[in-house]
Every structure is written in structure tokens, then in C-alpha cells.
Structure 1
Amino acid sequence: MRAAVVHEYGAPDVVRVVDFDTPVPGPKEVLVRVHATAVTAADSRIRGARFPRGFAPFARLAFGLRRPRRTVLGNTFSGVVEALGSRVTGIAVGDEVAGTTGLRMGTHAEYAVVPASRVVAKPAGVSHDDAAGVLFGGSTALFFLHNKATVGPGTRVLVNGASGAIGTSAVQLAKHAGATVTGVTSGANADLVRSLGADHVIDHTTTDLASVTERYDVVLDTVGTLSAASGRRLLADGGVLLLAAADLGELLRARGDVRVGTAPERVEDARELLDLVASGALRVVLDRVVPLDGVVAAHERVDSGRKVGNIVLNP
């Protein structure tokens, strides 16, 4: 099979597409022919060894001290089951499935081995591109809005970074829950954010959030430009600040109205997101869809900071 491999940390051009042995599923695993997978901010951080402040020593231990331990990156997938492990039940060869692979990565390839417990059925009405695209940002948005805060009818929600992978999902999920949503983005992406359901848009290129007088019940920072202090200034009484891109210091100091964390990769969340996409309640924003040979350009786009929504690879 062909796979995008990373044998050293560095710029996007360290990624190479090479021939690779097709993996064989273990007893409780399935082999998936990958039709679509996302290139995410997490892939970019691992490839470039650019981890949030304070996390670098721990991340190097997890991902490799001198070079990536997992040479094939990629965490989300949508595709077709090609082979089953001997102890897998409830899944058949030919099933269209989607999901995430956790720290084992491995989806930037034509085939990926996935634990059967992580596989969910892809609804027939959802494309492979949309299924792979929604899972990274969507699961993070879902976790923060539903597990770290209470969002419902009348909740005033501010999403900082509303045009990114997390933000595009967060705007829609908050609106779907009945919230009044304000999206913070550049003027170039304002119409997109409004089309996703935002009631108000703040152009961060012309308006400093420090000058905003409105107060919010929930502030979700998806890009790491708010601190605990600057974020708290935007909160209404009883409001909560959600830092989805927190550094180690913010993680250790978070308490009370400041909440951080890492979204768990739960199959029930994947099912919920896919069902929302199937119903039309959640739109997957795709910046671009490229073949496997476009993986370097995909990493470059992520690194640029101008990605809108999700970038999808078609191995």
C-alpha cells in the first residue's frame, strides 16, 4: 500500500509518500481501506514537534524523543472494511465505517488497522469526506460544549476561532442546542460563519476582544489567543471559559469558571456527530480535498493558520 510517512520532525516537506506493507488486523481489529482522512492541527503539531507550551517533554515521550514513533500520522478515517480479525463480531467485510484511531494514528494511508471497538457505521447519506472531516473538530466542540459547559436555549455563546475545524462545528452545535451564538473570525470568513448559524460575528482583524462590552455565558477559545484573564473579562455572572488550546500552565491553574481538557474519542460521540451530519443539522466545512500525493501541501495549509474548516486526504 501507499502511505504518507514522517521519519523525522520538521517542516511539511519531511512527509514522504512511500510504499508500505499493508497491515494485518489482529484478533479484535479490522482492516479498513481508507477513502478519506483528515489532516489536522494535531498532525501538524506532531510532525513539527510544536507542542503547547509546557507539554513538549511529555509529548516527546509519547510520540518519540528524537523522531516520530508513529511514522504514519492521521487519526480520523472513513472507508470500507476489507478484512476482519478472528474475534470480531457485528462487522462485515464491505461495511462502510468511520472513526478515530487514538494515539496509534496510522490513517494517512491506503489501509489502516483499527480496533473493532472504535469503528462506527457510516450513515449512507454521509460522504466519506464529510465523515472523516467532522470527527476531529466535531468531537472537541461536542466535548467542551456538552461536557465542560451547559449550552441550551438562550445561552449566550462566544466561539473564538469560529472558522476552524473546531469552531465551525462549535457554532453549529451551540446553535442546534438553542444558543445565541457569536463567532470570532476574520472578515473574509464572516459570511461563512453566519451561514453556519452565528447570530453575530466579530472580525478579530478590526475589533480587539478586550474592547467588547457584551458578556457571555460560555466562551470557547479554539485557537489559544485568550488567557484565563482576558477570557474571564468576557464572561457574564456564572459564565464559564473553555480553553480548548490550553498550555500546561493554564491546565494546572484551571479551576472554577475556567475549564480545560482533552476530548475523549468516544464512539457514542462519533455516532452522534455522524447522525447530525446525516440529518442536515451539522454541515462539514471542507477547506480542500486532496489526494495522498497532496499531503505536503495539506500540511502547509494547516501550518499557514488560514485553514477554513477541515482538510481531507483521499488515499
Structure 2
Amino acid sequence: MPEESTWRSVFRNDLFKGKVALVSGGGTGIGKSIVIELASLGATVVISSRNEEKCHKAADELNALGFSGKVAAGPSTNIRKEEDIQKLISHVVERYGALDILVNNAGGQFISDSADISKRGFQAVVETNLQGTFLMCREAFNQYMRDNGGSIVNITIGNRNGMPGMMHSAAARAGVENMTASLCVEWIESKVRINCVRPGIIFTESGFENYGPAGEYFLEKIVPSLPAKRLGSAEEVSSAVVWLLCEGAGYVTGSVICVDGGGSYVALPLVEIEDKTNLPTYGYLPMKAKL
């Protein structure tokens, strides 16, 4: 992550002056980049995750870069628990008097063949990535945005061609995108805009360490297939998020912005397919069409 002294947002200074933002999973990776950008543009930013200690450490680190107390840690929050989310939103509204911006960045998944995913494993990922995002949106709306307006961005992952090896997460994130399309109409009378940013394969400080050897295999297979022939940066994601949150996107709601270097338009080569005919033919098919 670039130091504040050398990094500058492409957006104008004080774009979010006086605004209060909440970024879940804001202590590391993409979430941390979003927090830096919002704070650098004048917002007061609360970060949350299950590990409150990590949030305090991240907040102290970012404030030391020159954000003068703009970043604060929220209470420990497991987004699979409704009561944790309710307490988090209440904390932000009561302490800061507003919740103008919500970025749902927290989530989790693991790499696995779909046939090997247990019911419990599938449920855990869906509860985190889909249900948790819904509950964050619902509480932000009910506790503040219904009467005051606001802007929400949901961070999703996936691919228009599916996501072999992470089917459970792809299914949940697709649900988030469709949920966003539904909420944008329901909540527009309250002056609430809600959109999605769908990152591709993004380089972050932590990299793919959480996935172990599977993460290295993932990179080895996926990078050569990307049209951009490189990973994306966290700052490229945060720039898209900030645009959706700002007044310049005032007519944008229910959208999905892909930050993936064209990756959504290629298949993910994560499944090895043997060199043989896998589907029987119906009707006449010349030999050259089988090659």
C-alpha cells in the first residue's frame, strides 16, 4: 500500500468532507485501500471486522499516515450474526451522528471442487457473503438511510462465465448482485443509491496466503488467461468504489462495475478437462467439427 505522502487520489480534495462511512473488512487488502481513499477525501471512516484488535491496529497505522483521526475502529463484528451487525450500525450512528456511506467489503471463501463442498461449508460461505451483506444493507437503511439517504457499494467477486473452484462464493456473490438490483428500486424513494463493484484478480498485501498452495495454483492458471496479462491493483478497485459513492454518479444505481482487465469475458481455466469427447453427439457432425 503506498504511503499517504506519495499516494494521491484522482478525485478532488474534500470530496467527502463531513461524510461518515463504514467499510466492513476495512483493515486489509481492498478494504484498506477503500478506507485510505475515503479518508484522504475527507470522510470519517469506521472499519469493522471480526478481529477488533486488527481494526484498531489498522486505524492507528492509517491515522499515522496523516489522516488525523479520520479512521476509527468499530466493535468486533461477525457479519454472520444479526445482533453483531445491529450493534455495529447503532455504534456508528450514535457515535458519529450519521451513516452516509456503506461499503460491504467483508467476505470469505475457500477453493474447492464443488463435489467436495459440504452442506455446512456451502452454508457458511452463503451466510457470510450473501446474508451478511443483506443484513448490513438492511440495518444501514433501517437505522439511518431510510430518512436521510445515502450510498452503498457491495464488493462482489465472480465471473460472467462462472467460477470453477469457488462455486459457493460465486453463487453467493451473484445473489448479492441481484439483491442490489432489487434494492435499488425499493430504496430509491429514500434517496439511497446501491451499486456493486466486481473486482477481478487483484494484488493485495496479503496476496493469496489464505489459500495456501491452492492460491499459487490459482495464480499460475489464471494470469496467462487474462486479456490484461496482469493482476489489478487495490487502488484501481477503490477508485471505482469512490466514483460510485460520489455525487458525480448521482444517476447510477443498481449497476455492476467490473474491475478485471477484461477477465469477465474469458473462461477461468481452473478445471482440467481431458482431451477426449465429453458429450455425445446428436445428429451428423463432420470429423473436422470434432477437432
| TM interval, short-chain normalised | 0.3 to 0.5
| Structure whose residues are more often strand by fraction | 1
Higher RCO (C-alpha 8 Å, min separation 6): 1
**Please, what TM-score do these two structures have when normalized by structure 1?**
0.36
- Larger helix proportion, structure 1 or 2? 2
* TM-score, normalisation: structure 2: 0.39
